[in-house]
Structure 1
Amino acid sequence: MSKKHVITFRLDGDEMTEIERICKTLRLSKTDYLRAVSLGGSKPIGPPPAVPAAAMDDSRLASLEAGQRDIQMALNDSAAAFAALMTNLNEFLRIPSFREYRARDLAGNSIKRDGEAEEIYLLRLAHRYFIQYQVWPDPEDKTKFGPAPGADLAKFPRIKPAG
């Protein structure tokens, strides 16, 4: 059995009050607390004492549940709006084929002028496509360029990709 040693030190009233408050909060004796502080302690510090829960009446519970439903609905709306935003952003960042770009032009407010030759229209549209996507369409790739009946694509400018 090992010998017990007693260490004495002086505290003023405020210091003693603070140590007693801490010990009460941690539910430790002064000896256990001071041992833990000075040596790292071997006894675990317990949780703070439980505070009794306030009584909850039915109207307050119903009010909290309604608030929770409102928050959930707002979260669902936010998630749907975010998903729509991501879809639109992905569509904006995606470079469509020139064929798709032409179809969108013809389906919307087309820049094609009455009586305009097909190759002139395609050239003007290709310029707009290039300005928007920084890619020049290649008329030799029919799957991406699309059909061009009546157009003399031999005159269509060829821009080689950099690299």
Structure 2
Amino acid sequence: MKTIQVSTTINGDPAEFICTPDETLLDVLRNRLGLTGSKEGCGTGDCGACSVTVNGRLVCSCLVLGAEAEGAEISTIEGMAEGETLHPLQRAFIEHAALQCGVCTPGILVAAKSLLEKNPDPTDEELRYWLAGNLCRCTGYDKIIRAVQVAAAEMRGA
């Protein structure tokens, strides 16, 4: 099968990979680049477990072809922490028990970060609407919402 060479930026670092035309960005991230934080929950874009940002836009990486990453800036869960220092969202999720099994957590964190970059002070309704594409079967959404609100306040300096 024909292969495609792709040059991109992932979590701020230049990256190159070779993929097949039908390979998803999720498969490339996990299987070719070893970035296993994004999970495949459904493979149809319904659960949000594979959420990443591409050029600042929140997407389900199971619905994006790897070849579409050419020249793009991609951010994954692996890029949230700065070295050993967790992002405020990651700390809040731990402190407020907003995670359980960890399958959905990376996608929810990436989605929440994407929201807070666009709207640093979302209402409950805005937050719930933004995260509606991320499904969690293990914990209640109230803990997730609370954790994002706490992190948002910290990030705003409130």
Of Structure 1 and Structure 2, which has the larger fraction of its residues in helix?
A: 1
Larger Rg: 1
User: How does the TM-score come out when normalised to structure 1?
Assistant: 0.23
RCO (CA 8 Å, sep 6+): is it higher in 1 or 2?
2
